[in-house]
Amino acid sequence: MSAPASGRSRADEAGIPAEHVPAGPDAAPAATPPATTVVVPAAPVGRLARVRATVAAYLGLTKTRIIEQLLVVTVPAMFLAQRGVPSLLLIAATLVGGAMAAAAAHALNCVVDADIDQKMARTARRPLARGQVPTRNALVFGLVLAALSSVWLGLTTNWLAAVLSLAAIAFYVLVYTMLLKRRTSQNIVWGGAAGCMPVVIGWAAVTGTVEWPALVMFGVIFFWTPPHFWALAMRYREDYAAAGVPMLPVVAPAPAVSVRIVVYSWVMVAWSLLLLPATSWVYLAVALLGGAYFVFRAHRLHHQVKSGGEISPMPLFHLSNIYLCVLFAAIAVDAALGLPVLF
């Protein structure tokens, strides 16, 4: 059968080569065509996928990795306050409340810092920087989490822990993010105090008070924060400079920064030994060995800076995370074992 006079067959209109179509109903089957790549159109985004993307965006506002680190120091503080293993329900309640409080602070921080997050490669993928969450929604999200965390801690632990949690959120957002961060190179020194609060909150959740060991643990994290964060800021110096944030590595020469990292590292290790009257030889061993290695690596970074060679600050940054986790794990183990204190 010949093609219609119009000049195009149905096969032509479908874009199928004529040699792949039988001539008629009685025609023999054509030879198997060569393999071809079939392009399947992308499926439309469904409701479930949109929900997942939205949930992921809101989780992104909370900076979950930082929350994990904050919770890691909370539990050892509770162990030391109990001088043993606290109630598991109390631990769970404190961690849930602490996680909500930290998430609230981070979400509100993202709202305030959305403009500079867009300018920094390290933060450009945050939800507000990418427009994944409306600013108003993020603000409400943060405020609701702050209220819920305080009420939760008040009802499940005690109201001192709740008040301390709310104070930490306010300090992080109002003092660090809004007042200090864009105005002084000492921003992380004083603003870092908010990150020290989980140990005090954990202690208060167990005892209903704030005693000197809680303040010593607060100080350990306070003096740990500058070496930790300045090492990161050395790596991302151009990012902070482009965003107009006067982190110390932006406004001071590298040797001045590395000297301060060394000084704060020594002070941190010395301060950690103030916890000896409340701990045993287990904590002493970890504090001395871990502290000595941390100071060694801080001096090593300073030597790199002085020698004018390639500077690698990130190993110290990663080590700082490990050091803090190991030191506080030693506190928890020490308290759980119930060994006699040194003094």
Task: Give dist(CA 153, CA 36) in Å, integer.
Answer: 63
Task: Give dist(CA 29, CA 174) in Å, integer.
Answer: 78
This prediction has a pTM of 0.84
Quickly list DSSP for 40-85: PPPPPP-HHHHHHHHHHHHHHHH-HHHHHHHHHHHHHHHHHHHTSP
- What pLDDT score was predicted for residue 194? 92
- What pLDDT score was predicted for residue 336? 96
Which among 269, 295, 286, 302 has a CA at the least distance from the CA of 335? 286
Task: Give dist(CA 112, CA 134) in Å, integer.
Answer: 13
- What pLDDT score was predicted for residue 7? 42
Q: Give all strands (DSSP E) within the chain, no chain letters.
A: none
Name the token pair of 212. 């000197």
How many helices, marked H, and strands, marked E, lie in the chain? 15, 0
- What pLDDT score was predicted for residue 337? 95
CATH superfamily name and code, 54-337: UbiA prenyltransferase (1.10.357.140)
Task: Give dist(CA 149, CA 145) in Å, integer.
Answer: 6
Per-residue pLDDT of the chain (343 residues; tens, 9 = 90+): 444 444 444 334 334 333 333 344 344 444 444 444 444 444 445 888 889 999 999 999 998 888 888 889 999 999 999 999 999 999 999 999 999 999 999 999 999 999 999 999 889 999 999 999 999 999 999 999 999 999 999 999 999 999 999 999 999 999 999 999 999 999 999 999 999 999 999 999 999 999 999 999 999 999 999 999 999 999 999 999 999 999 999 999 999 999 999 999 999 999 999 999 999 999 999 999 999 999 999 999 999 999 988 899 999 999 999 999 999 999 999 999 999 998 8
